[in-house]
Amino acid sequence: MFIGSGRAVVAATLASVALILTRQRLPLPRQWARLAVVGGGIVVWFPLLTSFALTSVPASHGAVVIALLPAATATAAVLRGHERPRTAFWLATLAGAAAAVGFAFAQPGGFGQLHWADLMLLVAVAAAAVGYAEGGLLARELGAWQTVSWALVLAAPLMVALAALAVAQQPPSATPAQWASFAYLGVVSMFLGFFAWYRGLAIGPMTQVSQIQLVQPVLSIAWAALILGESLTETTLIGGAAVIACAGLAVRARLKPAPSHD
């Protein structure tokens, strides 16, 4: 709970400072409800559910479920943004999801029986997909960094309360490297990273941009090799290349022309 909520508190603090220093105007009343959807998806549910789930299953196991996020985001973009991808896009997306899941399964500890944590991860994927799609649309109105900043500020009271509860139940104790990891989650993963992500989604089309997420399990394994010294096998390299190729095909697929109203 401390990791899931505490990193949001760090990000919300930075967001508040940025909004105040740049004198951003308050969102319109109708935009607050949409910001609540964004905050619920990316600030509350996804961080908390994934944090809880990864206390009982390996990260490689979690990557199997999280690999479904690009397809889920594309679906949310179609439903919310009324985008019209061609059949080639969906074929590339499904191939990419299958390749990413297979890639994650191929990693040590990636295969395992269904666990209660899988349900939490699936809900986290759905919440993030909705938050990404709604945030991408809002970024076209408020701006990319403004959207994530307002969403963080809106969710801040709840996340501060949860972080305080976590500290009261068990005061955090960690090594310097672990605190550095926590700082990275709060500053980069929860705040700065969304600047580029929502900017990309705002430029769109969101269905195509969302497929960039397919390379996430590949990058996770690569960073694990560089930082943690885990080995890179031939299967890893081949699987990673397949995932990246599918992501490239999905990103390059064009949308169907909008229907004529004449």
d(CA 204, CA 140): 10
pLDDT value of residue 32: 94
pLDDT band at 100; cut points 50, 70, 90 = low
How confident is the model over 100-109, as a mean pLDDT? 60
d(CA 135, CA 120): 22
The β-bridge partners of 73 are none
Can you tell me which residue has the tokens 């508190």?
Answer: 9
- Nearest CA to 221 among 209, 211, 233, 208? 233
Do the beta carbons of residue 204 and residue 61 sit within 8 Å?
no
d(CA 224, CA 203): 31
Render 80-97 in DSSP notation, one character per residue: HH---B-HHHHHHHHHHH
pLDDT digits (tens, 9 = 90+) for 175-188: 998 999 999 999 99
From 67-81, 148-162, 235-249, the region with the lowest mean pLDDT: 235-249
pLDDT value of residue 131: 92
The secondary structure of residue 110, as a DSSP letter, is -
Render 33-60 in DSSP notation, one character per residue: HHHHHHIIIIIIIHHHHHHHHTTTS-HH
The β-bridge partners of 255 are 85
d(CA 141, CA 25): 12
pTM of the predicted protein model: 0.78
pLDDT value of residue 47: 86
Do the beta carbons of residue 1 and residue 158 sit within 8 Å?
no
The secondary structure of residue 109, as a DSSP letter, is T
d(CA 105, CA 99): 10
pLDDT digits (tens, 9 = 90+) for 27-41: 999 999 999 999 999
d(CA 175, CA 132): 33
pLDDT band at 254; cut points 50, 70, 90 = low
CB environment 200-234: b (16+ within 10 A), e (fewer): bbbebbbbbbbbbbbbbbbebbbebeeeeebeeee
Do the beta carbons of residue 85 and residue 207 sit within 8 Å?
yes
- Nearest CA to 212 among 250, 238, 182? 250
- Nearest CA to 228 among 108, 144, 104? 108
pLDDT value of residue 252: 65
d(CA 178, CA 175): 5
